[in-house]
Amino acid sequence: MLSHRRLFAALVVLALAAPGLDAQSRRPITFEEFAATRIVSDPQLSPDGAWILYTVRSADLSANRRPARTFLAPVAGGAARAWPDEKTSISEPRWSPDGTAIAYISGGQLWIASVQGGAPKQLTTLTGGASGPVWAPTGDRIAFVSAVYPECRDDACNAAKDKAKSESKVKAHVADDLLFRHWNAYDEGTRSHLFVVKPDGGDLRDLIPGARYDVPPGPFGGSEGYTFSVDGRQLAFTAKDDGVANAWTTDINLYGIGVDGGTPRLATGANKGADQNPVASPDGKWGFYASQQRAGFEADRWRLMAMDVASGAFRELLPTWDRNADAIVAAPDGKSLLVMAGDQGRDKYFRVTLDAQGNASAPQPVITEHNNTQLSIAKNGTVAWIRESASAPGEVWLGTLDANGVSNQRRFTHENQAHLAQFALNPLEDFWFTGANGVKIHGFTLKPPQYEAGKKFPVLLLIHGGPQGAWLDAWSTRWNYQMFATAGYGLVIINPTGSTGYGQKLTDGVSQDWGGKVYVDLMKGLDAALKANPWMDSTRMAAAGGSYGGYMVNWIAGHTNRFKALVSHAGPFNLEHMYSATEELWFPEWEYGGPFWNPTAMATQYRKWSPHLFAKNFKTPTLVIHGELDYRVPYTEGISMFTSLRRQGVDARILLYPDEGHWILKPQNSQLWYREFHGWLGKYLNRGLVP
């Protein structure tokens, strides 16, 4: 039976969906209402498929944070309840193999409790905290990671170093090697090490004491970076141990180590590209992982690889599949893998069937509608994952893995249904056009919530970052399509040359051609969208982008005056300066063909594609946004863009965040971001509504 909460929500939805509140009656969403959406993530099925854990997060504007709650619900239906209780905030809950206990992170430490949430026991009190719990299949150990000082041999040493640092009046940074800061943080001397502990808290040990590398490599790796063998006696893990070359190589590798410690064994040293995210087959015969072949290229195709555990031989399972193996889940029966891959603007799951020799079938698309991530599978074949779209935040979906794929796909949670029913949230509409060099390019359009046939609406062109990335049919808490459209703008959203999910050749096409084919694709795509959508007003257009998208906005500023306004977020401006100030040097060295003191790279890249060389052409009013903790694209790039605009008398505005990095994440900062964005566009596109 439905709980009172769910019954009430269902009645609200029915009322809002009644004829009295049709599509014309729904209204644009405001920022406060956008922030109130509940972001559902991390579905975890119990081993028998009878229960599911999931996390719900929403913004608390007054507290300027995004708190999370975890819920436990029966898969067969019934009320969800807060787990382990109504007061405790946790993350990363993980079922024991026998389904009788759950490991989780609370207060930055590792805990364990019964399925009912009773008898909670804290397993760690480490100075560097704990995260990423992974159970051994045998249930006798839990792996996790914790920050340590490599020179320390016990946690008392870690605590003493932390205390001395916090009490020191000197906050200077001293470094001898590159990558001394990464993403939005300085290297303070700690490393993320792989630990194991027994479920009773005994035999806690650092498996790689003294190691001067991180497991998994930063800044975004999680528990997908390590796994146990089927017998629970070994672990495979992902690490990058390139010493002084860490800043300019992508040679991430897989290692093996016993649960009792010892010397890690390098498994993938022959490949100089990146190897990561090991997955063990249920029968223990195979290890699967993702691998990039080309050294120094972070956007090379992630190949689906298999290692024969007995012989140690490696091979690619799908050499002709022109997609990335972005995530890999082994089915419990050992006969198939579920592989997530970006495909034409959507993340989808494909089933790869394996025979007794480990040979793989052609990928079969099994979960394809809208955008799909974070898959979990139970022993009985029940599958849970997160499905989202441009018009709806993610919810938990369920299905059953069977001979025909994933059948009986159905939405399990309805966290946002009642809340969003009152807003006009239009879906993305796909379109294709002919871009640079006759290549077919994909994009989306989105109608504004105020859309009426026969009326004209201003246009916003969105440009994604990367440059190897893609706009997806997904709900974002940062660059959200509905929040851009809410002030009355039609959106043109293009995946140009360089985008992922359309084959590696298209992805490769942007490297050493930053201002070339992408610019052509964007202009041709915008023209195609205008022609196909007469409601779009070509006399009132703006363009906005972040990271590489910010670069392209800066490039556009020097090459066309067709836009009334521009928004450049965290965009490279002077490529020579960008090279020497960024942290991951493998990126500009691949993208620009080498450092700027390389004469060929200087002549063909830095002095050809740098936006600052065309600053004399700037005439379009531009809003520049940057975070001072952005070490990927240092904030001086944004300041330089702003200075170049204002010194020439071009109307411009700069928004700098001293407490944000490449992304603007804090709720109140995000609120200001959208307010400034819409204020700027409203000033030039004759739309005054500020969400």
Domains of the chain: 423-574+610-684 (3.40.50.1820)
Residue 75, pLDDT above cutoff 60? yes
Q: What is residue 358's predicted lDDT score, i.e. its pLDDT? A: 85
Q: In 10 A of CB 532, how many CB atoms?
A: 12
Q: What is residue 690's predicted lDDT score, i.e. its pLDDT? A: 39
Cis peptide before 393 (omega within 30 of 0): no
For residues 552-557, average pLDDT: 98
Under DSSP, the state recorded for 59 is -
| Span 558-616, pLDDT tens digits | 999 999 999 999 999 999 999 999 999 999 999 999 999 999 999 999 999 999 999 99
Q: In 10 A of CB 139, how many CB atoms?
A: 16
Residue 22, pLDDT above cutoff 80? no
Residue 231, pLDDT above cutoff 70? yes
Q: What is residue 14's predicted lDDT score, i.e. its pLDDT? A: 33
What is the C-alpha to C-alpha distance for residues 653 and 118, in angstroms, rounded to an integer?
Answer: 55
Give the tokens for residue 107: 């207060």
Q: 235 pairs with which residues across the strands?
A: 228, 257
What is the C-alpha to C-alpha distance for residues 384 and 411, in angstroms, rounded to an integer?
Answer: 10
For residues 632-645, average pLDDT: 98
pLDDT band of 10, cuts 50, 70, 90 = very low
| Span 414-433, pLDDT tens digits | 999 999 999 999 999 999 99
Comparing 17-21, 214-218, 523-527, which segment has the lowest mean pLDDT? 17-21
Look at residues 309, 306, 295, 208 and name the one whose alpha carbon lies nearest to residue 586. Answer: 295
Identify the three-state secondary structure at position 607: helix
What is the C-alpha to C-alpha distance for residues 558 and 279, in angstroms, rounded to an integer?
Answer: 48
What is the 3 state secondary structure string of 226-259?
Answer: EEECCCCCEEEEEECCCHHHCCCCCCCEEEEEEC
Residue 689, pLDDT above cutoff 80? no
Q: Which residues contact 55 (CB under 8 A, 6 or more apart)?
A: 40, 41, 42, 68, 69, 70, 71, 91, 93
Query: Which residue type does 477 have?
Result: T
Whole-Å CA distances, 348 to 281, 327, 339, 497: 21, 10, 8, 21
Q: In 10 A of CB 240, how many CB atoms?
A: 22
Comparing 3-17, 256-270, 547-561, 605-619, which segment has the lowest mean pLDDT? 3-17
β-bridge pairing 392-402 and 405-411: antiparallel
Q: What is residue 541's predicted lDDT score, i.e. its pLDDT? A: 98
Comparing 165-174, 352-361, 472-481, which segment has the lowest mean pLDDT? 352-361
Q: In 10 A of CB 226, how many CB atoms?
A: 26
Look at residues 240, 258, 213 and name the one whose alpha carbon lies nearest to residue 295. Answer: 240
DSSP 335-394: SEEEEEEE-SSSEEEEEEEB-TT--BPPPEEEE-SSEEEEEEE-TTSEEEEEEEETTEEE
Q: What is residue 13's predicted lDDT score, i.e. its pLDDT? A: 35
What is the C-alpha to C-alpha distance for residues 304 and 297, in angstroms, rounded to an integer?
Answer: 17
For residues 65-94, average pLDDT: 96
Residue 399 contacts residue 383 (beta carbons within 8 Å): yes
What is the chain's length? 691
**Residue 547, phi-psi category: left (phi > 0), alpha (psi -120 to 50), beta (remainder):** left
Residue 494 contacts residue 524 (beta carbons within 8 Å): no
Q: Which residues contact 509 (CB under 8 A, 6 or more apart)?
A: 439, 497, 498, 517
Token pair 């979990």: residue: 376
Cis peptide before 467 (omega within 30 of 0): yes
Whole-Å CA distances, 26 to 21, 112, 448, 566: 7, 46, 12, 29
Give the tokens for residue 426: 């239009």
Percent of the chain predicted with pLDDT > 70: 96
Look at residues 608, 609, 607, 640 and name the one whose alpha carbon lies nearest to residue 622. Answer: 640
Residue 235, pLDDT above cutoff 80? yes
For residues 531-554, average pLDDT: 98
Residue 412, pLDDT above cutoff 50? yes
Comparing 84-88, 213-217, 298-302, 687-691, which segment has the lowest mean pLDDT? 687-691
Burial class (CB in 10 A: 0-12, 13-18, 19+), 362: exposed
What is the C-alpha to C-alpha distance for residues 503 and 107, in angstroms, rounded to an integer?
Answer: 43
Q: Dihedrals φ, ψ of 460, to 5°? A: -120, 120
Whole-Å CA distances, 73 to 43, 98, 135: 11, 18, 21
What is the C-alpha to C-alpha distance for residues 485 and 494, in angstroms, rounded to an integer?
Answer: 15
Q: In 10 A of CB 166, how many CB atoms?
A: 7
What is the C-alpha to C-alpha distance for residues 90 and 109, in angstroms, rounded to an integer?
Answer: 10
Q: The pTM is what?
A: 0.95
Residue 486, pLDDT above cutoff 80? yes
Buried b (16+ CB within 10 A) or exposed e, 592-609: bbbbbeeeebbebbbebb
β-bridge pairing 261-266 and 275-280: unpaired
Q: What is residue 293's predicted lDDT score, i.e. its pLDDT? A: 98
What is the C-alpha to C-alpha distance for residues 146 and 526, in angstroms, rounded to an integer?
Answer: 48
Residue 1, pLDDT above cutoff 80? no
Look at residues 83, 34, 88, 80 and name the one whose alpha carbon lies nearest to residue 59. Answer: 34
Higher pLDDT, 687 or 98: 98
What is the C-alpha to C-alpha distance for residues 370 and 386, in angstroms, rounded to an integer?
Answer: 10
Helix (H) or strand (E) holding 654: strand 652-657
CA quadruple 412, 363, 222, 291: dihedral, nearest 10: -170
